[in-house]
Copies of this chain bind each other. A is one copy, B any other.
Amino acid sequence: MSLLVVGSVAYDGIETPFGKRDRILGGSATYISVASSYFDNQVRLVGVVGHDFADEDIEFLKSKRVDLEGLQIDRSGKTFFWQGRYHYDLNNRDTLDTQLNVFEHFDPVLPESYRGSRYVALGNIEPGLQGKVLDQVSDADFVVMDTMNFWIEGNLEGLKKTLKRVNLLVINDSEARELADEPNLIKAAGIIREMGPEALIIKKGEHGALLFTDGEIFSAPAYPVVDIFDPTGAGDSFLGGLIGWLAYTDDLSPLNMRRAVIFGSVMASFCVEEFGPDRLRSLNEQQIYDRYRAFRELSEIPSPELA
């Protein structure tokens, strides 16, 4: 299926307890596109980069069959740059530098060829811009969006407007509690779904994820990664695997949404095994399905009947 992806395309400087990279390809749209490309979709990227964006990164995205007609190249400045350092426990990080550069005035204009996209993934950008993307797609079957505490605190009004227009919101647990102003995640989920999205996924990092659909909750485990090398991009890889599977199968049943959550978890679990998007460069179908099966084994509850 056709899948429109909007978000940031960036360079990241990353330091983890295991090493350091000064400048590596990053950004939400990058991770979402690459992760979703493994599910045989027509991925269409909307974003902006500067004059310093490397040819080899263009080539990498093209090698994953990502359509770059919507990738604006703004020669007036440099590509969005973020630099951060992860703590010992990898659950926290300090931002050392943020240079918005050409991303500061990003105006998502869709090429004509993108406007009929059936699936839409709105990466974490300003809610008004997310809405502007939706204004340009004529009849999408399914829209998923990400957001963050920065917008919950800084533009709640705009965020709530966009929330009314999406089918699925994917956020982490602290964001869910903040957005709903409710510490109990199950109650928070009910409050958030009343804001618009029929479905909600709450990501809990090392504790897995929860999917809320009508009258049903699905609790997905986290893959027990012993050596998390670099958590950068895990959330966006989750989103990419999730929407990639949904677009590929074009099946929006609660049962298939469960599969999508696991494929998202699979892609996130691969992502953290190497720096930046490196592990996502060379996956194959066998590895992806093998890890899906590992998730099933990890959480399988046997029938209470003894043999």
A96 on interface, CB distance cutoff 8 Å: no
Chain A, residues 290-307, CB within 8 Å of chain B (1/0): the string is 001001101111111010
Chain A, residues 244-276, CB within 8 Å of chain B (1/0): the string is 000001010001101100110000000000000
**Contact between A295 and B301 (Cβ–Cβ < 8 Å)?**
yes
**Contact between B304 and A259 (Cβ–Cβ < 8 Å)?**
yes
A85 on interface, CB distance cutoff 8 Å: no
The stretch that binds B, out of A52-60, A158-166, A203-211, is: A203-211
Chain B min CB distance to A87 (Å): 9
Chain B min CB distance to A180 (Å): 13
| Known contacts A207-B208, A258-B302, A259-B302; A219 and B221 CB within 8 A of each other | yes
**Contact between B222 and A206 (Cβ–Cβ < 8 Å)?**
no
A243 on interface, CB distance cutoff 8 Å: no
| Known contacts A208-B207, A306-B249, A306-B256; A183 and B301 CB within 8 A of each other | no
A228 on interface, CB distance cutoff 8 Å: yes
A186 on interface, CB distance cutoff 8 Å: yes
Chain B min CB distance to A132 (Å): 35
**Contact between B299 and A299 (Cβ–Cβ < 8 Å)?**
yes
Chain A, residues 87-104, CB within 8 Å of chain B (1/0): the string is 011110000000000000
**Contact between B219 and A186 (Cβ–Cβ < 8 Å)?**
no
**Contact between A183 and B258 (Cβ–Cβ < 8 Å)?**
no
A158-185 residues with Cβ-Cβ distance < 8 A to B are 183-185
A196-220 residues with Cβ-Cβ distance < 8 A to B are 204, 206-208, 210, 217-220
A224 on interface, CB distance cutoff 8 Å: yes
5 tightest Cβ-Cβ pairs between the two chains A and B = A219-B221, A207-B207, A89-B183, A186-B224, A296-B301
